[in-house]
Amino acid sequence: MAKGVEWALHTLLNLDMIGGGPVGSGQLAEAHGLSASYLNKQLQQLARAGLVVSVPGPRGGFRLARPLEDITLLDVVEAIEGSTKIFHCTEIRCGGRIGALSPPPTGACAVNAAMRRAEQAWYQALAAQTLAEIRAEVDSPSVRQIVRSALE
């Protein structure tokens, strides 16, 4: 998974901690020592997914499009990574010497089926956790003050 998912998650949490935004992408990037162009790419993907809204103008930037209670980890992963499958079965069981020496397989590949089950469990776990739950784990007056100070 790309680092963009991690930055997107932290950015959404930071936007919530300061009251929802708007905050410029440059400010958000500087707070974590990132390049603004890199973070802006993640923010554009979050905007396309409806997780943030771009606010134009001199006091513009990005703000949350909905409360953290309505944003799951899966929403963020799919916004940044897309919804493509993680495992791609290429039917290697049919190739090489093993494939040449054995009859063609019937039925679904057991490896593919196991990986699909694991992937489904992962997606279900991501969909079950909201960013509000994560914020509750880290929320404290001192953390909020650090975030506010970093984004001023």
Distance set, CA 44 to CA 34, 62, 88, 124 (Å): 16, 9, 28, 25
Range(s) of the domain holding residue 134: 3-150
| pLDDT score at 58 | 83
Instruction: Give me the percent of the chain exceeding a pLDDT of 70.
Output: 95
Instruction: Give me the percent of the chain exceeding a pLDDT of 90.
Output: 51
Residue 66 CB-half CA count within 13 A: 13
* Model confidence band, residue 12 (pLDDT cutoffs 50, 70, 90): very high
CATH number at residue 15: 1.10.10.10
| Tens-digit pLDDT profile for residues 111-124 | 888 989 999 999 99
pTM of the model: 0.84
Number of domains in the chain: 1
The helix or strand, by DSSP H or E, that contains position 116, with its residue range, turns out to be helix 110-128
Average pLDDT taken over every residue of the chain: 88
Give the pLDDT mean for 6-31: 90
For the chain, state the CA radius of gyration: 21
- Examine the pLDDT at 25 and tell me if it is beyond 80: yes
| Tens-digit pLDDT profile for residues 47-97 | 999 999 999 988 889 999 999 999 999 999 999 999 878 788 777 777 777
| pLDDT score at 135 | 93
Terminal Cα distance for the chain, rounded: 30
Distance set, CA 43 to CA 64, 65, 136, 148 (Å): 11, 12, 23, 19
| pLDDT score at 101 | 67
Phi-psi region of 20 (alpha: psi -120 to 50; beta: other; left: phi over 0): left
| pLDDT score at 128 | 97
- For residue 22, say if its preceding peptide bond is cis, omega within 30 degrees of 0: yes
3-state secondary structure 8-54: HHHHHHHHHHCCCCCECHHHHHHHHCCCHHHHHHHHHHHHHCCCEEE
